[in-house]
Structure formats: structure tokens, C-alpha cells
Structure 1
Amino acid sequence: MNFEEIKDKKPQKVGEFLDKAENGENYIIKLSEDKIYEVAPIAYYIWAMCDGEKTVNQIVDEVSKEANIEFDQLKDPISAVLDQLQQASLITL
């Protein structure tokens, strides 16, 4: 999934945040009674931004400003995280 293909899509998170993992770093997201995922902080941060209102372009822009990292440096990594979240059914695009 590349940025140009998804930049205007508005991802919507699926599931609910439960708690931080025992290691104190990762986050637990519950999709259903038998599907619970542990995700890295950056994946959780991006998942939490998927409100169905913001486009992928806006998410990258917001992360770019907050992290003080060039927009173009974030397009591919954030697209990859969104792809993994979609494969795990944690977002819909």
C-alpha cells in the first residue's frame, strides 16, 4: 500500500483500547472476545488518530508537525503501519 494510493482515504479505527501491556511499552487493543492485539506505541498512536474524519495525508501532516520530522520522510513508514493495522482488521480504509 503506497501513500499516493491512500492519501485521500479516511481510516477508521476498529476495536477498543484496553490497557498498556505488561512490558509498560506496548498497548493492548481488543477487536473481539477472541482477538486481542498488542501493538507498538507508534502503531497505537496512528491507530488512535484514525477517527474516520482525518485523511491519511492529514495524519502524516499532524505526525510530521508533532515529531518535527519532514513530511516526505513519514509517508512510507506511516503507510506501512496503516497497512499492518488494516491487515489485522484494526482499521478500515
Structure 2
Amino acid sequence: MSYDDIKDKKPMKKGEVVDKAENGENYIIKLEEDKVYEVAPIAFYVWNMCDGEKTVTEILDEISKEANLETSQIRDPIVTVLEQLQEAALISL
């Protein structure tokens, strides 16, 4: 998936936060009783922003401002995180 394919989509998170992982850094998100995922802080941060209201472009802009980085520097990594979240069914695009 490319940025141009998803830039106007409004991703919606699925599942609920259960806890922090034993390492104290990652987060545990549960979709169903038998579907539990451990995600890194950046993936959790992006997942949490997927409220069904913001477009992918708006999410990128917000992260860009907060991280004080150019949007072009974070576009590909964030698209990759969104792909992985979608593959795990943790967001719908």
C-alpha cells in the first residue's frame, strides 16, 4: 500500500488496551479472547490516533508537529506501521 492509496482514508482502531507488556515499554491490545497483540510504543501511538475522524494525512501532520520532523521523514515509516496494524486487524482503513 502506498501513501497516495490511503492519504484520505480515516483509519479506525479496533480492540482495547489491556496492559503494558512485561518489558514496560510495549502495549498489549486485545481484539478477542484468543487474539492479543503486543505492540511497540510508536505502533500504539499511531493506533491510538486512529479514531475514524482523522485522515492518514492529518495523523501524519500531527505526528510531524509533535516529533518536530518533516512529514516526508516520517511518511514511509508511519505507512508501514498502518499496514502492520491493518494486517493484524487492529485498524480498519
Structure 2 length-normalised TM: 0.99
Q: Deviations over 1:18-75 (max 9, x none)?
A: 1110100100000000000000000000000000000000000000000001011111
Q: Give the secondary structure class of the aligned counterpart of 1:76.
A: helix
Aligned partners of 1:10 and 1:58: how far apart in 2? Answer: 9
- Partner SS, residue 30 of structure 2: strand
Could you list the runs of 4 or more consecutive aligned residues of structure 1 that deviate by over 6 angstroms after TM superposition? none
Count of paired positions? 93
Partner SS state of residue 4, structure 1: helix
The residue type equivalent to 1:50 in the other structure is: C
Once the two structures are superposed, the pairs formed by residues 19-38 of structure 1 within 5 Å of their partners are 19-38=19-38
Supply the AA of the counterpart residue of 2:61.
D
Mapping of residues 8-87 of structure 1, within 5 Å? 8-87=8-87
TM-score, length basis structure 1: 0.99
Q: Distance in 2 between matches of 1:73 and 1:38?
A: 25
SS at match of 1:10: coil
Q: Shift in Å at residue 10 of structure 1?
A: 0.1
Q: Percent identity?
A: 70
Structure 1 unaligned spans of 5+: none
